A and B are shown apart, each in its own frame.
Chain A
């Protein structure tokens, strides 16, 4: 059945007025006060008055919020009533509201590219807030340059291209699964790839999930079942992106799929695993146990067939001897697959912070473990024991690898500390504490913290319950980091946790314990290759950066590449799923009509001037953007450069090398730049060009 929304989309898209306005430019100039952001520094009324005197300026106004409806109405009224045919707005950055004002002028029947945006906030008022007079003068210069450009602006039409509707979701954890499901249910085909050989990500490793106390395995199983049942989703495990090309609507992405090395119908799984002599730390249990080189991470994993860990397999062939010829294929090569997709969802997830050797005794004393390790310990044991000894007293220490302070904490290899809050660890720690209390009521639990951040819906209950369960809370200041030391020989408890506790008047307290659990923070998965290939950017905290936390919270600066889940920052399962669904919505908005719209800022060749030298073709960095064509005209053979708009990204390198100035970038023509430079450097900018 055809998409029922297709028709109304076409209707909604409307038609752009591409005709050039008749007569001389009549420019409307609008200076936004941006609340006080601009108006408290730049004297907007003075700017408007000065600009109103310039040639071709029909009207110059200032207003508190140009982006608001009444502000926009000033513009549309001037277009319809005063015959304004070019619009210049001085406001926030064009990043924030260029689209807003394009729609405004379009609504009034003007071509949207006959509007020009000057960033008075970021480039003027915010950086010069201490010198209002100079900032006002600068605003006049900046805006008179915009007016100079506006005089030369011509109508443009965006480039419309057919878009591939398939979406690539990278990452098969809870966010990737949720995103894939939502996109497929919206009607778009999905390819879901997961780097490991099993779906589920970290959620598979947790026992219970807050705030619902539901069984993590059951939640995951339900979600995976839904994903498998969805015919529009194709899944590859053991798969990674190896190269990317293209742009929104038309990405060419090559993935490499590592073989499992084990046939799907291989029946002698248990025997093969038993036969394997290799022992390596089991990452699923965070190194608490060992696994073989042929393994399944856990019972109920998907896909269920085991996989051969090629890095550790010694090719001893023991597994081959258990029978079923051809069931095990040690020499199967990886397969590369080319995908054509319209958009990419990055759901590459997180990794738990790995404490440094010796950090709070980690790696130094075997009785110091991390919270993820404790989760595995609880999930796989009926008793709470460590090193074959029952755990009677336990200390949990928060903020290990989070809220770090420069100079006090050891930095990561990139030289930075983790100065952010990891958001989930407080409730996760208290959830574990409460479960321990329920299952092992005689265990004494100490909770060493700075602030308890049980912020989310239902989270505070865990704190209240932990208090009722008799968990002892000790609060330290950020700069007074607790210490974990070895107890004296013969002491009853192997470790001592030293805390300067602010809840008992700053007393130095020593806690003798059997086990210390470090509540480690969240760091993004190491995906620098993927980040480079997709040309997206991480923020200061190394998590992937959104365009704007409120305006475009799951989109990256690369059109068609969106974020889902903890690749963007620490999140709970619920928050990851919400972000993944938001990503699905953004993808649906982009691709559901099967077309994408690209900016018209592409190179344009003047065939009269072009000599067919071909310098432009040599320097062009974009494949297929510009080429030479030969044609016969009046019996003469002519060579001329021709631009393929879909492949051009408007970088302008060709413009700079053309010996005959035959190329310009539409919307950013050289004459426009020249006029702007002249206006900005004019002796008396406000009076320049007065008729």
Chain B
């Protein structure tokens, strides 16, 4: 377990795909890295996805080995369920205070056997991973492939029946656990704080989240994932297998009324990918994608779009104006068919997926003094040439913290951030600003 004080070359904030990649790239070069993740497991948004474009690899195949790698790397201290409380500067860089939230389970003792889950009498909706569609126990391992494989207790819901205490073969349960504080001396900081999706209930024209068979792209990812709640695609209102599915593109992006004027860059491709997966799972279903512009710009993406067209997925140019529902809760979209003499039509579907966009995962101004641009993402002053360097010396940013991007680009920019950080560290070590004594403190 990590000591109370830790000295590292870099502290990476965020254990999603970008944070993990940046941490691994630096640790593989011999730098000491602390990786701080606020959730109980690393993996970020990516671990919850189904298959990923354009190769259609299952996301676990790409993510889980990296999750294991950050957990076992000799040069990485992994701090999950931990949050940065404060950051201050000193001569050696930054002093970062980290709060380790209590899991009420002793990390070192828990083997992840899940015996506690079997005896716990209470179920809670799994909001964090499954939008409340499934349940987990009050004491639970976050998900099957979570890293670390350690249980935690939702203490507010616990009735302290003590069953887990009896069931645990390694005496790992500790109801009296308190938050722990850890001070990290870091030469540099990487913000890999990721994104959140735009709210699917934000637009009243699209039902403001009240139409049961209107879901968002991330929810559909779970329905499509092999680890998902049902193992198949069912619509929420009545559990019916949908025979007609529609995607509404730019449902949270390129829309000034939502305060998101920019393109979120990933939605075209994820909608097409989901449509392809759906047509594999439901070969008879009609799938329509309503779009403004199809933006399949990346390597192999245009060819991916062509394949989707060849598979029979229908692409309709037109911004959906309104979604309503009929008595059977079938959503009906109102749209102008631009390529078909601009007729305005209403079309009924069984399930509508809103292709929601990306918002920044957090505002780094208060903790790190790092300003954001008008779009809310971290401001990068020399954007073209030094895409990870922020306005604050020693603070870098990467992945979706610097703007919407897909997984491929997140991974590349994470490696780019590692290059900028290692150059920064080398310039400091060359100047001799870190003494041998200080280095020996590492992992003291």
Contacts and interface: CB of A to CB of B under 8 A. Distances in A.
Contacts of B303: 419-420
Contacts of B434: 4
B144 interface: yes
Contacts of B426: 185-187
B118 interface: no
B87 interface: no
A421 interface: yes
B302 A421 contact: yes
Contacts of B55: 548-550
Given A5-B30, A549-B55, A34 B61 contact: yes
B217 interface: no
B105 interface: no
Given A34-B61, A68-B64, A223-B385, A182 B420 contact: yes
Best-surrounded residue of A456, A475, A543, A585 (most CB of chain B within 10 A) = A585
B340 to A, nearest CB: 9
Q: Is the interface of B mostly helix, strand, loop or mixed?
A: loop
Given A37-B58, A554-B412, A582-B415, A214 B74 contact: no
B32 to A, nearest CB: 7
A121 to B, nearest CB: 9
Contacts of B261: 460-461, 464
A453 B254 CA distance: 12
A10 to B, nearest CB: 9
Interface string B65-94: 101110111110000000000000000000
Nearest to A203: B384
Contacts of A6: 30
A577 B387 contact: yes
Contact of A8 (B25, B75, B144, B293): B75
Contact of B226 (A36, A73, A503): A36
B31 A5 contact: yes
A506 interface: yes
B403 A582 contact: no
Interface string A14-40: 100000000000000000011111010
B297 A453 contact: yes
Interface string B377-420: 10000011111100000000000001110011101110111111
A657 B271 CA distance: 56
Interface in A486-525: 502-503, 505-506
A211 B409 CA distance: 17
B304 to A, nearest CB: 10
Interface string A447-491: 000011111111111001000000000010100000000000000
Contacts of B148: 69
A464 B260 CA distance: 13
B128 interface: no
Nearest to B58: A35
A1 B433 CA distance: 12
Nearest to A40: B226
Give the bracket for the number of chain B residues in contact with chain A.
Answer: 35 or more
Interface in A52-82: 64-65, 67-73
A433 B273 CA distance: 33
Nearest to A568: B299
A409 interface: no
Contacts of B442: 8
A592 interface: yes
Contact of A550 (B25, B57, B342): B57
Contact of A585 (B225, B227, B262, B416): B416
Contacts of B430: 1
Interface stretch (A92-100, A364-372, A664-672): A92-100
Interface string B292-312: 011111111111001000000
Contacts of B155: none
B370 to A, nearest CB: 16
Interface in A127-150: none
B170 interface: no
B297 to A, nearest CB: 5
Contacts of B254: 460
Interface string B46-72: 000000101101101110110111011
A317 to B, nearest CB: 43
Contact of B30 (A12, A92, A584): A12
A5 B420 CA distance: 16
B60 A35 contact: yes
B145 interface: yes
Contacts of A548: 55
Interface string B272-284: 0000000000000
A581 B419 contact: yes
A219 B145 contact: no
Interface string A96-137: 110010011001000000000000000000000000000000
Interface string B336-349: 00110110000000
A548 B439 CA distance: 36
Contacts of A578: 387-388, 409, 412-413, 416
B88 to A, nearest CB: 24
B404 A506 contact: no
B412 A577 contact: no
Interface in A573-626: 573-575, 577-582, 584-586, 588-589, 592-593
Given A5-B31, A68-B68, A451-B293, A186 B383 contact: no
A69 B420 contact: no
Interface string A34-52: 1111010000000000000
A234 B128 CA distance: 53
B385 A589 contact: no
B377 A457 contact: yes
A4 B9 CA distance: 11
Nearest to B385: A577
Nearest to A70: B149
Best-surrounded residue of B73, B149, B227, B262 (most CB of chain A within 10 A) = B262
Interface of B: 25, 27-32, 52, 54-55, 57-58, 60-62, 64-65, 67-69, 71-75, 112, 144-149, 225-227, 254, 261-263, 265, 293-303, 306, 317, 338-339, 341-342, 375, 377, 383-388, 402-404, 407-409, 411-413, 415-420, 422-423, 426-427, 429-430, 432, 434, 439, 442
Given A5-B30, A65-B61, A423-B297, 12 more contacts: A12-B30, A69-B71, A70-B149, A103-B72, A182-B423, A209-B384, A212-B384, A460-B254, A549-B55, A551-B62, A582-B415, A585-B418
Interface pairs A-B: 10 shortest CB-CB: A5-B30, A582-B415, A185-B423, A581-B416, A68-B64, A457-B403, A35-B226, A581-B419, A9-B30, A68-B145
21 contacts: A34-B58, A35-B58, A67-B65, A68-B60, A69-B64, A182-B419, A185-B423, A186-B419, A219-B385, A419-B303, A453-B293, A454-B263, A455-B263, A455-B295, A505-B342, A550-B57, A573-B385, A578-B388, A579-B412, A580-B416, A585-B415
